[in-house]
Amino acid sequence: MNHYPIFTHLHQRKVLLVGGGLVAERKASALIQAGAQLQVVAQQTTAQFAEWFAAQQAEYIGTEFSPDLLNGVFLVVAATSDPALNQRIFQAAEAAATFCNCVDQPACCSFIVPALIDRSPIQVAVSSGGHAPVLARLIRQQIEVLLPFSLGRVAAVAGRWRKQVKTALRSLSERRRFWEQLFQHSRFGQLIASGDEAAAEALLQQQLIQHQPLPQGEVVLVGAGPGDAGLLTLHALQAMQAADVVLYDALVSAEVLALVRRDALKISVGKRCGQHQVQQQQTNELLVKWAQQGKRVVRLKGGDPFVFGRGGEECAFLHAANIPFRIIPGISAGLGATAYAGIPLTHRDYAQRVLFVTGHQQLGSQTHGWQTLACAQQTLVIYMGTLQAAEISRQLIAHGRADSTPVAIISHGTQVSQHVLTGELHQLAALAQQAATPALMVIGEVVRLRQQLAWFQPQDNSVTGAAAA
């Protein structure tokens, strides 16, 4: 171990910063946030420094560095563009037994500044010992996405209760088990994340004073997006990494599933036409069963849970069973797949509105349904409609949509296996017969823009209607 890792308490401690450029500005920002009594030496400074000086968040003490400026200084940062000056500052700091960091000069550093994940009071530092700071920042980014933004508030609540817990639980092992159970209980963290710290503290008090077991687990409905794992939200990834049990749909890609915590129990509850299906009632009961056992349950759904995903039904069932739940939205296929295919859903020259419908049931069953769907100057996005493509085409044309209206069928949208068929409305049935499933149908003049805007073609496998016919 080349460096001894420490976190220094800089509040109201004198810190000297030499330099006034953009690099120095970044250093100054972090030092001010840490509460340092910052003194600045520089021949010129950025506009941001002027604001700090005016607000008395930093003090400008001159243009030239001299060793006597180190008197009473806790540490010094040299951030000038002059390596010789930085070295002279380091030598003076060494003589004064003062910590010194010279930016981008590891040999002139008695301390180094790590890449930091800040969830104050929780802080995680990543250091390469000055050898590869860019690599340290990349590692920091990977850790960053796994730590909830509310983690600091969780630590703050725990800090307020440390004394009471120590009084109530005399042995170290008892206290350790108490805190481990509390921190691992997803409901405690979620209450704090939602801003209800009072309820979180009531939960803590219930466990501590009344010695009651923590209540049942919770269910998180997570939108897995259309397939590309890069489209997951941070909240989705964090929930997947924390899950004990994951119930996932057939539409969830292998790439997304690979990001689930490795030791989590994974249960397929997918529904695909012509294949074995898990009935919705069975899925609902599984969610309740595992949550009642105190498990952190993730219901991983392709796209968005509330866009043709039956998420509303599952939430209603959980509510009736008194199971806590929350929803993490995802990018629906209608948004993700069309964007990857280069098809804007709206465009002021072609479409002023967009309709999302499902072809799984009779589209025109409601009065005047087909007239609404056949309107010009709109984009029609149809989920699960390939088996009814012939009827959809016939009805739209019969109710006024031009048979030459551009159409696209997008299979495996946003994934490396993405495949796009394009043609005209009268060709929709023929295109649907060739399309791999799952597939999304897009009908409207905006499809013409694909020739200009298509950017995601991993296998250059887009096929035109003429070629498909």
Mind telling me the catalytic residues? 249, 271
Alpha-carbon distances, residue 21 vs 25, 26, 44, 426 (angstroms): 6, 9, 7, 64
Q: Annotation-wise, does 130 bind a ligand?
A: no
Return the closest-CA partner of residue 330 out of 397, 406, 248: 248
Q: Annotation-wise, does 226 bind a ligand?
A: yes
For the chain, the distance separating the N- and C-terminal CA atoms, rounded to the nearest angstrom, is 67
Helices (H), 275-359: 280-292, 311-320, 333-340
Q: Annotation-wise, does 22 bind a ligand?
A: yes
Return the closest-CA partner of residue 337 out of 468, 436, 236: 436
Q: Annotation-wise, does 384 bind a ligand?
A: yes
Q: Annotation-wise, does 345 bind a ligand?
A: no
Q: Rounded to an integer, what distance in angstroms lies between the CA atom of residue 370 and that of residue 18?
A: 72
How many C-alpha atoms does 359 have within 13 Å on its Cβ side?
24
Cβ(463)–Cβ(420) under 8 Å? yes
Q: Annotation-wise, does 223 bind a ligand?
A: no
Number of neighbours of residue 295 by Cβ within 10 angstroms: 19
Q: Annotation-wise, does 406 bind a ligand?
A: no
Q: Annotation-wise, does 413 bind a ligand?
A: yes
Q: Annotation-wise, does 121 bind a ligand?
A: no
Q: Rounded to an integer, what distance in angstroms lies between the CA atom of residue 209 and that of residue 332?
A: 45
Q: Annotation-wise, does 303 bind a ligand?
A: yes
Number of neighbours of residue 448 by Cβ within 10 angstroms: 16
The three-class DSSP label of residue 397 is helix
Can the peptide bond before residue 121 be classed as cis, meaning omega within 30 degrees of 0? yes
Known binding-site positions: 22-23, 43-44, 226, 302-304, 307, 332-333, 384, 413
Known binding-site positions for NAD(+): 22-23, 43-44
Known binding-site positions for S-adenosyl-L-methionine: 226, 302-304, 307, 332-333, 384, 413
